[in-house]
């Protein structure tokens, strides 16, 4: 069969993608033509959060749920790709291999850190660099020969900055410098005092020191908001974060010798919603090292990369099916989201005494 032809019926092969994270996990099934047919989601699947037993239970649950939605059996699968949050070092390999083995798939598989499947989902050519920026940060890459490399993923401990955690830490440092008159005054002080519910800066600092107040990555949007309002200190923090995220990519570029290549740098994670104030200094840092790099946002769930990785294991030219897979996955998720919204509305109607959605005009 040529890659441009499409198999039909019982001859079609199916592929499983898995993305397990610290807060949510996804499973996706698509056929070899790129049509997504099954999806499932659940909570944390990172073994560091739920333990190995919890990770195994979740892996089995989302796999079976995705198979059920696809209306196929496990025997129809031809390959699988797994992205595991918590798979960071060689010593983690054995535990994750056991997780996969417990599924009993009996098909070619590939697995790695969850950052890598974000790269596969977002890079048009299937190789390049990905920089993840959410609660913290991470980066990895692979070249056109599929040689892969990564950073430590340890955040500030190993000098990797740019995520929400590090941004808030930097903001607290600047607030402390302003309080002690070692730095410039900043609107961040009032913003953080209000955010934690303190009476003033002294109360906030004492409360943070004594554990009465918690300051974490969820406060990072305040830094961006304060920067937009024109606060120079907040603006510099955002620029610093962008430069640091760019430096993560530069490390990967140097490891893979990509400086003179044309490739995608995939921007994955919620922090990029901040837009150009964050992305512009990041782009400048990257282009100074690799002038032909292209920064592209990740617009599909990373689990799409897991499916593509599974396809690679049996020799499918993923470039042929990539666009179809992305389009069909978006359509599948929108359909599921619509169904969930309808179910929620129906549940609310029943709560107020409407016995049937049809009685309220919501029947199909």
User: pLDDT tens, 181-233?
Assistant: 999 999 999 999 999 999 999 999 999 999 999 999 999 999 999 999 999 99
pLDDT band at 2 (very low <50, low <70, confident <90, very high): very low
59, 102 Cβ separation under 8 angstroms: yes
How is residue 299 written in tokens? 């617009």
Q: Residue 364: is its pLDDT beyond 50?
A: no
Say whether both 60 and 24 belong to one domain: yes
Please check whether residue 141 lies inside any domain of the structure. Answer: no
pLDDT single digits (tens) 84-132:
999 999 999 999 999 999 999 999 999 999 999 999 999 999 999 999 9
What is the structure's pLDDT at 349?
63
Say whether both 190 and 293 belong to one domain: yes
CB crowding 193-217: b at 16 or more within 10 Å, else e: bebeebeebeebbebbeeeebebeb
Q: What are phi and psi of 299, to 5 degrees?
A: -110, 0
The pLDDT of 25-38, averaged and rounded, is 98
Please check whether residue 28 lies inside any domain of the structure. Answer: yes
Say whether both 253 and 338 belong to one domain: no
Say whether both 117 and 164 belong to one domain: no
pLDDT band at 363 (very low <50, low <70, confident <90, very high): very low
Say whether both 226 and 309 belong to one domain: no
What is the structure's pLDDT at 4?
38
Share of the chain above pLDDT 90, in %: 88
Please check whether residue 43 lies inside any domain of the structure. Answer: yes
Q: What is the CA radius of gyration of the chain?
A: 23
The pLDDT of 278-288, averaged and rounded, is 99
Please check whether residue 361 lies inside any domain of the structure. Answer: no
Among 45-59, 86-100, 276-290, 343-357, which stretch is predicted with the lowest mean pLDDT?
343-357
The pLDDT of 134-161, averaged and rounded, is 95
The pLDDT of 306-316, averaged and rounded, is 98
Q: Residue 7: is its pLDDT beyond 70?
A: no
How is residue 271 written in tokens? 């922090």
What is the structure's pLDDT at 8?
55
Q: What is the rounded distance in angstroms from the CA atom of residue 184 to the CA atom of residue 175?
A: 9
Domain range for 258: 157-297
What is the structure's pLDDT at 11?
83
26, 18 Cβ separation under 8 angstroms: yes
Please check whether residue 334 lies inside any domain of the structure. Answer: yes
* Interstrand relation of 109-113 and 25-31 (parallel, antiparallel or unpaired): unpaired
Among 91-100, 119-128, 256-265, 355-364, which stretch is predicted with the lowest mean pLDDT?
355-364
CA atoms within 13 A on the CB side of 344: 6
- DSSP string across 247-306: HHHHHHHHHHT-TTS-EEEEEESGGGGG-HHHHHHHHHHHHHH-TTEEEEE--S-THHHH
Answer with the one of 297, 329, 359 that is the final residue of a domain: 297
The pLDDT of 134-140, averaged and rounded, is 95
What is the structure's pLDDT at 346?
73
Q: What is the rounded distance in angstroms from the CA atom of residue 45 to the CA atom of residue 24?
A: 7
Say whether both 37 and 112 belong to one domain: yes
152, 160 Cβ separation under 8 angstroms: yes
Q: What is the mean pLDDT of the chain?
A: 93
What is the structure's pLDDT at 359?
52
Say whether both 310 and 248 belong to one domain: no
Q: Is the pTM of this model over 0.85?
A: yes
What is the structure's pLDDT at 1?
33
328, 35 Cβ separation under 8 angstroms: yes
What is the structure's pLDDT at 358?
57
Say whether both 88 and 220 belong to one domain: no
What is the structure's pLDDT at 254?
99
Say whether both 96 and 198 belong to one domain: no
Please check whether residue 148 lies inside any domain of the structure. Answer: no
Measured between its terminal Cα atoms, the distance across the chain in Å is 40
pLDDT single digits (tens) 55-82:
999 999 999 999 999 999 999 999 999 9
- DSSP string across 59-95: HHHHHHHHHHHHT--GGGEEEEEEEETT--SGGGHHH
Q: Residue 245: is its pLDDT beyond 60?
A: yes
The pLDDT of 280-309, averaged and rounded, is 98
Say whether both 290 and 310 belong to one domain: no
Edge-to-edge order in the sheet of strand 14-20:
36-42, 25-31, 14-20, 77-84, 109-113
Say whether both 276 and 306 belong to one domain: no
Number of domain units in the chain: 2
Say whether both 278 and 335 belong to one domain: no
Higher pLDDT, 16 or 3: 16
CA 347, distance to chain mean position in Å, is: 31
Please check whether residue 150 lies inside any domain of the structure. Answer: no
The pLDDT of 28-36, averaged and rounded, is 98
Please check whether residue 363 lies inside any domain of the structure. Answer: no
Q: Which CATH number characterizes residue 257's domain? A: 3.30.420.40
Using the structure block, give the residue that is written with the tokens 């496990």: 74
What is the structure's pLDDT at 339?
72
Q: Residue 351: is its pLDDT beyond 70?
A: no
């Amino acid at each position: 069969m040529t890659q441009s032809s499409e198999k039909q019926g019982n001859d079609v092969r199916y592929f499983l993608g898995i993305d397990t994270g610290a807060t949510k996990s996804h499973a996706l099934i698509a056929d070899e033509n790129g049509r997504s047919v099954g999806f499932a989601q659940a909570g944390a699947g990172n073994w560091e959060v739920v333990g190995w037993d919890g990770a195994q239970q979740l892996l089995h649950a989302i796999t079976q749920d995705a198979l059920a939605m696809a209306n196929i059996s496990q025997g129809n699968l031809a390959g699988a790709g797994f992205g595991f949050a918590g798979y960071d070092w060689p010593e983690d390999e054995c535990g994750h291999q056991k997780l996969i083995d417990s599924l009993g798939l009996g098909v070619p598989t590939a697995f790695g850190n969850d950052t890598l499947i974000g790269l596969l989902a977002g890079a048009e050519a299937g190789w390049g660099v990905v920089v993840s920026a959410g609660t913290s940060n991470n980066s990895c890459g692979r070249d056109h020969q599929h040689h892969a490399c990564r950073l430590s993923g340890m955040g500030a401990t190993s000098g990797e900055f740019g995520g929400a955690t590090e941004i808030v830490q930097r903001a607290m440092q600047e607030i402390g410098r302003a309080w002690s008159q070692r730095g410039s005054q900043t609107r961040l002080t009032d913003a953080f005092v209000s955010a934690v519910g303190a009476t003033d800066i002294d109360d906030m600092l004492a409360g943070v020191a004594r554990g009465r107040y918690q300051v974490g990555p969820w406060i990072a949007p305040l830094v961006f908001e304060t920067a937009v309002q024109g606060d120079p200190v907040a603006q510099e923090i955002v620029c610093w974060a962008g430069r640091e995220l760019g430096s993560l990519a530069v490390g990967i570029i140097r490891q893979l010798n990509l400086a003179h290549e044309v490739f995608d740098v995939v921007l994955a994670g919620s922090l990029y919603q901040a837009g150009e104030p964050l992305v512009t200094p990041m782009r400048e840092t990257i282009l100074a090292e690799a002038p032909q790099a292209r920064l592209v946002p990740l617009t599909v769930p990373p689990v799409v990369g897991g499916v593509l990785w599974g396809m690679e294991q049996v020799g499918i030219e993923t470039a042929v099916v990539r666009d179809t897979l992305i389009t069909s996955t978006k359509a599948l998720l929108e359909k599921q989201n619509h169904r969930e919204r309808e179910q929620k509305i129906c549940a609310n109607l029943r709560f107020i005494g409407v016995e049937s959605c049809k009685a309220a005009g919501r029947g199909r």
